[in-house]
Structure 1
Amino acid sequence: MKKLICLIVSLILMSSSVVFAADQYSYSIGTNYDSGIFDSDIDTSQDAIDAATDFGIAGYTSYYNIKPTYQYLRGDNPNTNDPRMESEILFFSGHGNYQCVSFNYKKKGGDYKTGIYYGKDYDSSSTGYKYAGIKSYDMSKVDLVTFAACKTADGSDNITKRAVSEGADTAVGWKKSVGATSHTKWLGRYTNELARGKTVQEAVDYANSFSYTDNNVKSVIIEGNKNLKIKLSDISFSKINVQNDNVGKDEVYLKNINKKEINKIKHKTYNVKQNLEFNVKKANYNSIIDYIKDEIDSEFDIDDYNIYLTNTNKNQAVIDFIYKIGGFETNNSYTVLIKNSKVKKIFHNTIENEVKSEIKNNIMNIKTYNLNAKAVAQKIEDNDYTIEEQESKYYYDLQTNKAYMIILTTLKHKPTKTFVKSEYFYEIK
């Protein structure tokens, strides 16, 4: 009889555990800003859809909204009558600064002028924006919130830190302005790893292990519990619960560019067992260069690479050696992970095992343009934006055999004082 009772209790507990998992929610928010920047718009809709899909795979009842209004962000989950802002998983991709993430679907204004704010619910009388403020909600119910926007972890007081101080277990944000194209690729890898059961730190490290056309994407900061795992259960793709929470007809977002590109990149990991120290404040790359020559590639020549150092936290950093041919950077690279002032892992990303001589000759014969990046940026049609910073570089995609001049433009949205960074690929033919 006791065994029967124990069996019944066990079945009840198992049943309640499954229900509990199914009753956990995620909300992913992005939008199309229709900014008229260069030849395309800044559009974070795909970020939200990809994240929602991955959170659904992780076992959550997952919603996404790419036309958010202030009523929606401040509103309740219809299944629980609890505020959406108190869901277990929150993901916001848009314009940002240290105080907020802002949205305005296709510049429609009105109720679409909204966002997430680091104080209480806030209505701006000067701009008309109405924010859902994290201090107006019980953030202790939130396991993970990702503020996927420029400068959301900038400074000593920011929305990423405040989310954790208000009770969230883990929050992720960025110290710098990040290129929209690079960010979409980074986020796809990050949420995909979370869905596979990796910790937040492991997911961030994996996304950081690839190279991007804007290295600022690696200026990511984790506040709170870095070892959090959000995966609830294994679930087949056909049974994931992802729901479109938009009103009206949607644009079509079908491609998941990230996963297609991941499959074409040869990505090899080397765990460094030697005691290789690296001082992030006084960078000296000699020991890393020697290690690559001795253990990975005897023909490695540092003169063939551009070096980028991104400090992510105290005594932690990501180093990228980007392979170049002539004046063109390529998508072949080494990425080095620094933890506690020591080299922990080296990642080798290649499109081909070796760059053939004819490709090198093609690149060397490309006629580069003295393109006036500032003039190109003036194609911005929206007076709400001002150019804050700009840089350009030449890039050769070994996968498509196409050459580009990439113009990275950081823009400030004047009404909200938020930032966005466009990556314009000008093909050189």
Structure 2
Amino acid sequence: MTEENVLIIAVQSETMDDLRLNYSVDELTSLTETAKGNVIETVVQKRDHPYPALYMGKGKLDELRELIDEMDIDLVVANHELTATQMRNLHHELEVRIIDRSQLILDIFAQRAHTKEGKLQVELAQYEYMLPRLHGQGQQLSRLGGGIGTRGPGETKLETDRRHINRRIDEIKRRLAAVVRQRGQYRQRRKRNNVTQIAIVGYTNAGKSTLFNRLTRSESIEEDQLFATLDPMSRQIKFPSGFQAIITDTVGFMQDLPTALIAAFRSTLEEVKEADFIYHVVDSTHPDKEKQQETVLTLLNELGADQIPTLTIYNKMDTLVETFIPEAHPSIFISAFNENDRNRLLKQTEQLFTEQWEFFHKLIPAAEGKLLQQFRQQTMIVEQNFDPDKEHYVLEGYIPPAHPLLYDQRSN
């Protein structure tokens, strides 16, 4: 696909300082590049708040028209979510395709969704985003065809009547509900099997997938781009003590995510809510890392996952130029590419488990090989001896609270 020339426009309100604006515009630029757009120019206007009718003032529009003609701009991307009126009026004034930050993110998700569930969630989010903005969009979409911001449901569907779209939304919701039930059954099965579950969360492009792949020797998508991972992936992970857990890589969090998208991906993020432990990966080199951490913690709170034990992982230490004092505790500094760092991470995780779990001392008959294997996989053994006279193993270690193995009569 040929790269489109993109003009980014942003309004700096009185509540937004220069630093915050720069971070926001830089992020929008990265999003545009992820969507295969070529950012030619950025235009910022300082206003108390975005102009209700046109987003920017009329005087600024003259400047935009000149830039669009001079630089052969194909697409204008607004840093804020536009109303239907703003989008329609801007298109009328500038005579070029207009999309906003939310539509751009939805477009990236449409590119990155691979599973049936992911595709359904993206389609639902796009329909719910477009429904209140249908008036005035049809001509823009039909006249100018495809490109960034038009992937997903497609132009022809978006031009049909609202009843058709509402029926499609209802159908997608029913199909997603079935997927959610199935995912819930998988989680319950893991719970019944007493498997400890760890979720990796973090701001987009913090290095979650790199860490996941190195810990599990997997091959999930791993790119230096925003939202490289969309569909959640779970794999088994083995700790130094022999203890085994399931670890899940999740979609990256981001400031100002479209409301429709957060709602649509709630089922995907349920994996986080059901986790026993969370790895919160932070890009230690990012200048806005504090705000990124805050964004993730806010979303965890909204998910009801803020009480789950968490280890904050400050990643990319191999490229960090200046040191800083971590805000979060407990925390660890690593490079996901460094094997020694990954081993330190696993050992620190085990140490945290020993502080939260129950100590046990168990005697297991030599004939109970299956039971012995369960202890080795589902608990953290720190001492193991065999008594040849009594023909049993003596185990000491740590086990999750209320774990069924604590009450197994064969190990008393």
Asked if Structure 1 and Structure 2 have the same fold, meaning a TM-score greater than 0.5 normalized by the shorter chain, the answer is no
Query: Bigger relative contact order, structure 1 or 2, given CA contacts below 8 A and separation 6+?
Result: 1
The structure richer in strand per residue is 1
The structure richer in helix per residue is 2
TM-score, length-normalised on structure 1? Answer: 0.29
